[in-house]
Amino acid sequence: MQERFLFILLLAAYYCSFRTAIAATGAVTFDFGTTVCQGSPFVFGACKFPMKDQQADFYPKLKETGVTFLRADFYFEHIIPTNKCASVSDYRNNVNGIQNPDTWEYRHLYWIDSSRKHGFKTFISATYTPDWLSCSGTYKGAPKDWMVWEDIVKKVYTRYKTRVDWVETWNEAEYFCDLTGSPYTSKEDFLVDDFYHTVKAIRDAGGTIPTGGFAFAYDRTDVFQGILKRLVAKYGKSWTEANLDFYSVHHYGTEPGKVNLQDIRNALHSAGLNPFKGVFVDEWNYTTDWGRGAGELHDAKAIGYVGKSLACFIKCGVNAAYYCVYPVQAPVLDPDLPGVTPFISGLGFYTTNGNSTTPLPQSYPFKVLSNRLGLGKGIYVVKNVSDQSLIDACCAINSAGQKVAFIANYYDSPNTVNIIFKGLEGRKVNITDYYANAWDPSCNAYSTITKDVSKGLTSHSINMVANTCVGLVIAPATNELSSMK
């Protein structure tokens, strides 16, 4: 028995030594003299919205995290349900005045006004089909009458046009498209017509906002290329060029930030379109059952995961929306959608106890990058990162002209990161750090150190604990500024 006990102790000691042995030294070079691309403040988006009773408490906290826009759906099937309209014929004949949009149901869209009130932009998915209009008899079906579809889209968009910033057509046709009973033999052909008729309705309503698609569940640029060629062939190159403003796709998994921009650009180019259109990764996260480790959704590990993902998105110059800003308590019933339970799946951005809310650790990297480093405040210039090892990082010059850098340690062990800064001015700089870690939700400035600069270079070293991120603001030293006056 004693020998077995000793063996267990030795085994535990070996395991602990193994865990600490993986602590390592990383490296990164930030070159502020080399531009990579233009960065967008809309890389800090999020899907869905706080629950109605929690909005007053959570919206100011969400604003403090640096989230810049929210994405959700129109849900046309709830705007004109079957208890308001029984058939396409009834709509065409205006039975009971059903064509009057003032008689429709908008309770579930309360989040649009709440979001705008608190300074968030809104991204809308123009989904789905009312059951009575659907060829399949469900919200996933193709509309039986595109003229009726256009009339509905036009009227709903007109109601919200001053409160909507982007519109995307359909959502995840891989899962939410049923062509039963329709004239379509492929989802690609359906998405072509859906894009045209949806965007036409918005333009007919005077909408000049950016419109795009196709909210693919997977990054299948070959499918995107096929849709583009069909769209150009059927509705013309000039119309497509003028109205397809962005490509949208969803990335779930361990590396959502790795966007293959070249394939997207190749697809646009092969269809004869401008290859440098906007890109929205407008849903991203782990899923609750694919590829995640313990704690990576809501605990300290989420900090490193979200941090490295945002750093990758920033270096690509894309827009992105984290899924999602619901509370993690599930299921969440919306009193304005009786009988409807939003799809939560354990994903979320805050926890709640009644009407009191607390942002979760995955919000901390948003706060550092968007607010503390200022990347959510306007267009910025993404600068070059090289010699990167054992961490993920990005750097930029923000809209206020500040040089900023960001490092994510997404390992379960400490990491000493040796940094080289290039492209600096003057003889001295102050480096202020802001940490995203599990024990300090404020993400306020931790310390400032002054470093000498020689030939535009300086070096720095940071000891990072496991699953943490750090943001750095590099500014001319105070005495340097005095000497310049």
Count of residues for the chain?
485
- C-alpha pair distances (Å), 400 with each of 50, 178, 396, 428, 435: 31, 48, 11, 20, 21
pLDDT of residue 338: 56
* β 246-252/278-285 pair status: parallel
Sign of the Cα pseudo-torsion (250, 255, 258, 263, in order): negative
What Å distances lie between residue 150 and 4, 144, 246, 409, CA to CA?
75, 12, 21, 49
Q: What is the pLDDT of residues 161-181, one digit of tens each?
A: 999 999 999 999 999 999 999
**For residue 204, with 0-12 CB atoms within 10 Å meaning exposed, 13-18 middle and 19 or more buried, which class applies?**
middle
What CATH code is assigned to 41-378?
3.20.20.80
User: Which sequence spans correspond to the domains of the chain?
Assistant: 23-36+381-484, 41-378
In sequence order, the 6+-apart residues with CB closer than 8 A to the CB of 456 are 33, 422, 423, 424, 425
Average pLDDT over residues 189-194: 98
Strand partners, 431: 449, 474
Q: What is the pLDDT of residues 403-452, one digit of tens each?
A: 999 999 988 899 999 999 999 999 999 999 999 998 999 999 999 999 99
Secondary structure E strands in 402-457: 403-409, 415-422, 428-436, 445-452
Residues 6+ apart with CB under 8 A from 95: 85, 86
Separation in Å, CA 251 to CA 189, 290, 427: 24, 12, 43
Tell me how far apart the alpha carbons of residues 19 and 84 are, in angstroms, rounded to a whole number: 62
pLDDT tens digit string along 215-271?
A: 999 988 999 999 999 999 999 999 999 999 999 999 998 899 999 999 999 999 999
pLDDT digit string, tens, across residues 77-112: 999 999 999 999 999 999 999 999 999 999 999 999
**334 compared with 208, residue with greater pLDDT:** 208
Q: What value does the mean pLDDT take over residues 322-351?
A: 72
Bridge pairing between strands 24-39 and 415-422: parallel
Residue 1's pLDDT band, with cuts at 50, 70 and 90, is: very low
pLDDT per position as a tens digit, 281-315: 999 998 766 666 667 778 888 999 999 999 999 99
User: Beta strand 380-389 with 445-452: parallel, antiparallel or unpaired?
Assistant: unpaired
Q: How far is CA 110 from CA 118, 174, 336, 339, in A?
A: 13, 28, 9, 17
User: Model's pTM, two decimal places?
Assistant: 0.92
As a whole number of angstroms, the distance between CA 116 and CA 113 comes to: 5
Q: What percentage of the chain reaches a pLDDT higher than 90? A: 81
Q: Taking residues 384-395, what's their average pLDDT?
A: 96
Please name the residue that has the structure tokens 């009575």: 132
CATH class for the region spanning 23-36+381-484: mainly beta
Tokens of 216: 């693919």
pLDDT of amino acid 377: 98
